[in-house]
């Protein structure tokens, strides 16, 4: 079976499913995050995929979330992340976080930075946590970085732009999965520079109901069209 080298997921539907099941949004987030940890474990133990990216909060969503909800998200990961650490360490998977640090709390930033060190290993496998992340924001910050390094921006090429971005040394995304896809068949600016040739998989299943069997269907769909991926040749 042909697996994508890099799977990126956009979890959507937590609010809707919380209302449908008479749960709080906090409960839905917690269950959803635990579910995606399970899917990360499946990725690194049952497939040969190298990278699993989880978009948890976009820059746009971070600005719209009520303060109480945002504070809960900042604190939640530190309470439930032991399982993820064990999965990453046991399977020699590096942890990497991407996003705009100015939009998260200092405590949470320090927590994520410490996890990078804790889960660092000598392998080409990565779990990428995208928090307060937007594809356009990544590009803007990359160009701002280049502007401090070059006196003549007219000489900058595509490779140099790519290398200024957070994900420049990670394989390109080959499969994007978005849940609640019957209501949101779009990428919402996610990883704009890195998904140009990715396969897009939209499922009507809402988080946190997207489980391993549903994930397997997405991977099987990728496998079924793998030989047709000729990129216009």
Torsion of CA 6, 219, 134, 231, to 10 degrees: 70
Q: What pLDDT is attached to residue 38?
A: 93
Long-range contacts of 67-74 (CB under 8 A, 24+ apart): 69/25, 69/26, 72/26, 72/29, 73/29, 74/104, 74/105, 74/107, 74/108
Please determine, for residue 13, whether its predicted confidence score (pLDDT) is greater than 70: no
pLDDT, residue 22, reads 75
Q: End-to-end alpha-carbon separation of the chain, Å?
A: 23
Helix 82-90 vs helix 106-118: angle between axes, to the nearest 10 degrees? Answer: 30
Q: Which two tokens stand for residue 129?
A: 């946590």
Q: Any idea where the domains of the chain sit in the sequence?
A: 6-227
pLDDT digits (tens, 9 = 90+) for 125-180: 999 999 999 999 999 999 899 888 877 778 888 899 899 999 999 999 999 999 88
Which candidate, 150, 172, 170, places its Cα nearest to that of 160? 150
Cβ distance 97 to 57 under 8 Å?
no
Question: Residue 137 has what pLDDT?
Answer: 92
Banded pLDDT at 49 (limits 50, 70, 90): very high
Q: pLDDT digits over 216-225, tens only?
A: 999 999 999 8
Look up the CATH architecture of domain 6-227: 3-Layer(aba) Sandwich (3.40)
Taking the whole predicted model, whether its pTM rises above 0.75 is answered as: yes
Q: What mean pLDDT is predicted for residues 104-119?
A: 92
What pLDDT, on the 0 to 100 scale, is given for residue 18?
Answer: 65
């Amino acid at each position: 079976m042909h697996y994508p080298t890099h799977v990126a997921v956009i979890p959507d539907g937590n609010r809707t499913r919380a209302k449908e099941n008479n749960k709080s949004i906090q409960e839905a987030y917690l269950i959803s995050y635990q579910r995606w940890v399970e899917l990360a474990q499946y990725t690194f133990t049952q497939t040969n995929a190298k990278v699993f990216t989880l978009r948890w909060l976009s820059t746009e969503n971070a600005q719209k979330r009520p303060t109480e909800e945002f504070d809960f998200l900042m604190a939640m990961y530190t309470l439930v992340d032991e399982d993820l650490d064990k999965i990453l360490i046991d399977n020699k998977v590096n942890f990497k976080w991407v996003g705009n640090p100015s939009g998260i709390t200092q405590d949470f930033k320090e927590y994520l930075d410490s996890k990078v060190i804790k889960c660092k290993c000598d392998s080409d496998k990565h779990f990428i946590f995208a928090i307060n992340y937007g594809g356009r924001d990544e590009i803007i910050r990359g160009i701002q970085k280049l502007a401090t390094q070059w006196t003549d921006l007219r000489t900058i090429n595509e490779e140099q732009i790519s290398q200024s971005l957070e994900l420049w040394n990670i394989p390109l995304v080959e499969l994007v999965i978005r849940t609640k896809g019957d209501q949101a068949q779009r990428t919402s600016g996610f990883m704009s520079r890195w998904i140009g040739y990715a396969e897009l998989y939209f499922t009507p299943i809402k988080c946190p109901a997207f489980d391993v069997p549903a994930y397997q269907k997405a991977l099987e769909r990728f496998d079924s069209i793998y030989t047709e991926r000729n990129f216009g040749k």
